[in-house]
Amino acid sequence: MTMQTRGLDFLRDVDVRLSVELGRTQMKLKDVLALGPESLVVLDRMTDELLDVLVNGKPIAKGEVVSHNGRFGLRIVEMVGVEETPARAPSALAETETGEA
């Protein structure tokens, strides 16, 4: 079997690490060492912002937290780098086809 006939299908079974980033913060080491039960660490993300979905540390999507059978889950809302192409307006389409601008 050649690479061309199989394409990249052989990569489908490769394990990758999918993670969801809730937010980040920067702290001094002394403040990290002072953390304990009931400490509060404020993150840089607002509660209504979408979360970053990462595969092996690279962003691939954005999503929102959901509850599923008593567990946390993630609903993918958008894929990173995938833009939806808006439908072209009929007038713009007519101008392009006739060569007029």
Express each pLDDT in 28-74 by its tens digit: 999 999 999 999 999 999 999 999 999 999 999 999 999 989 999 99
User: Which two structure tokens, joined as six digits, stand for 47?
Assistant: 């509660």
Rounded Cα distance between 21 and 50, Å, is 10
Please give the CATH superfamily to which domain 15-82 belongs: SpoA-like (2.30.330.10)
List the domain boundaries for the chain. Answer: 15-82
Question: Furthest-apart CA pair in the chain: how many Å?
Answer: 71
pTM, two decimals, is 0.64
3-class SS of residue 5: helix
**Phi, psi for residue 96 in degrees, rounded to 5:** -70, -40
